Amino acid sequence: MMQLRSILVTSEEEICEPLIIHQPMLRAALIENGASGLPPHDVSATLGKMLALFARMVGAKRILEIGTLGAYSTIWMARALPAGGKVVKIEFSEKHAQAANRNIERAGLSEAVELRVGKALDVLPTLTGPFDMIFIDADKPNNPHYIR
């Protein structure tokens, strides 16, 4: 008779952590974000991997990211782009944008990322599309306005 044992899983990370290969540039971005005093709101490694997978699935060449914090998610998505691809990101906070730029440069992705600093509702009308993928990770009350 087969015996079943129960397994207690306490978090998504316990399941997914072994599946994610942490690149030094990603770890460095998280360290930079903490050292820069950014709030600990980075996406999880699992979500970063999922964003990269989505970008590859749709064959994204241009991605729009609204809200970038320290660019952890940006790095995941930019690495998934083909040569010549671009992530256009909008960040409200100059402090966050500076940390994001340091992370992007350290990751060697400056050519694949374009940063716009300002209120997303002001910056969005100045952008030229189309975008193959859009990741909205900013102030949630404005999400309906961003979509419009």
Domains identified in the chain, total number: 1
Q: Which is higher by pLDDT, 12 or 119?
A: 119
Burial of 78 by CB count in 10 Å (0-12 exposed, 13-18 middle, 19+ buried)?
buried
Give me the percent of the chain exceeding a pLDDT of 70. Answer: 85
One-letter amino acid of 6: S
Question: Is residue 35 included in any domain, yes or no?
Answer: no
Q: Flag whether 122 is in a domain.
A: yes
- What's the domain range around 68? 61-148
Average pLDDT over residues 126-141: 93
Per-residue model confidence (pLDDT) at position 35: 87
| Residue 22, in any domain of the structure | no
Does residue 143 lie in a domain region? yes
In a domain, 87, yes or no: yes
Q: For residue 107, is it within any domain? A: yes
Percent of the chain with pLDDT over 90: 61
Decide if 81 is inside a domain. Answer: yes
The beta strands (E) that lie in 20-112 are given as 62-66, 86-91
Domain at 97, CATH number:
3.40.50.150
